[in-house]
Amino acid sequence: MADGRAKRIELRVSNHKAYVWDLEDLALLRAQHHICGVLAGTLPHLSQQNIFLGLPLVLMPEEVVFLVQKEIAVLVDDPLAHQPPSTAQLEAWNRDRKAGVKAQIAASEAKEAVGIKAAKSTSEDAIRKRKEREQKRAAAARAKALAEGSQDLFAPPVETLVATDALASTDQPAIPSASLNSSNVAWMVTVPASSSAELEWYSSEGVTYATIEDAQAAGVWLYPSTSFERAKCAVFRDLWEKGHYMGGGIRFGADFLVYPGDPLRYHSHFAASVIESPIASLKPMEIVAHGRLGTATKKAHLLCGWDQAKQEVSYYSIEWAGFG
């Protein structure tokens, strides 16, 4: 069955949000389809910060609707795509997991052994130096005692020497056996980022939706459900067709930020607000608020009106006049 669907990007939907978990898809979406999304995952090696985030990529609902309608992507019901594994698959996974744990424990113990050896050699030097110091001190004390004619000779610290010698020659503590029940070695469990690539029992077969309507009917996807949401989808699509890249507008009090090219290279020129219909009420105060904010941030505010009857978008750019 040679249909384009085989090549469509799988957007994994969980709780009515669409995620991209596969790096190649993320690159394709950005480079070829001008859809950027937002990275939302923490970095395992840098988890206590949120300046740099990683997979998954979260898409705006307008981006999802656009991609599915353009037949670039399909929606996958992610929880259901994680099918129950067969007994054989589960046994294999468990074997791999245990082997991985054993390998981790062995590696960390080998590392510990090297560490102990290094520590031991330093203490050998320290013991020798301590011996020499004590001998010198003892000799000096005896000489002093003889000079003063004292009966109480300072006993040479032979016992201490013997003690330190004894310490130096004791065996290392026995290396604990590599059993999974050892509680003094920590090991990590790996959770794969891409279930589709790494879990044998993941399958999008039968839980993939190629249209928004199908996904909505199945209860997997909800957007758009109001006329305002439909207007936002239409404006997003129109701006995309004109060659713009869009980002979330919340930082600038708008519905979208509109960039002339990839956001990594450009600042946005516009903050866009969507007006539901040509006759929707627009208060002058909104114009003041949008206009002033845009001008203060070196952007213009774009009012994007969707005309459902004519199926077209009309644009007005607002700027503070600079006088008055």
Partner 1 sequence: MESHPSYALLSELTTKYPRTAGSLLQTYNDLKLAQQWEDLEVFEVPSCSRGAFKGQRPNTTAVLYVIPCSLSESLSLSWFRDAFEDMGKPPHIYLAINAEDSNIVYYKLSPGIVKPPV
Give the contacts of 150 (CB within 8 A, at least 6 positions apart).
none
Closer by beta carbon to partner 1, 212 or else 302:
302
Partnered with residue 248 across adjacent β-strands are 256
Closer by beta carbon to partner 1, 29 or else 275:
275
Closer by beta carbon to partner 1, 221 or else 245:
245
Q: How far is the CB of 90 from partner 1 (least distance, A)?
A: 56
β-pair type (9-14, 17-20):
antiparallel
Q: How far is the CB of 241 from partner 1 (least distance, A)?
A: 12
Q: How far is the CB of 307 from partner 1 (least distance, A)?
A: 9
Q: In terms of Cα–Cα distance, which of 281, 297, 280 is closest to 289?
A: 297
Give the contacts of 133 (CB within 8 A, at least 6 positions apart).
none
Chain-centroid distance, C-alpha 118: 37
Q: In terms of Cα–Cα distance, which of 12, 42, 8 is closest to 28?
A: 8
Closer by beta carbon to partner 1, 31 or else 282:
282
β-pair type (256-259, 245-248):
antiparallel
Q: Could you tell me the two tokens for 48?
A: 């206590």
Q: In terms of Cα–Cα distance, which of 206, 204, 185, 186 is closest to 195?
A: 204
CA–CA dist 253, 273 (Å, integer): 9
Taking the alpha carbons at both ends of the chain, their separation in whole angstroms is 67
Q: How many CB atoms lie within 10 A of CB 157?
A: 16
Q: How far is the CB of 29 from partner 1 (least distance, A)?
A: 24
Closer by beta carbon to partner 1, 161 or else 287:
287
Closer by beta carbon to partner 1, 209 or else 306:
306
Residues that bind partner 1 (CB under 8 A): 242, 258, 269-270, 275, 278-285, 287-288, 291, 294-295, 298-300, 302-303, 305, 314-324
Quick check: helix, strand or coil at residue 58? strand
On the question of a cis peptide bond just before residue 176, with omega within 30 degrees of 0, the verdict is no
Closer by beta carbon to partner 1, 59 or else 303:
303
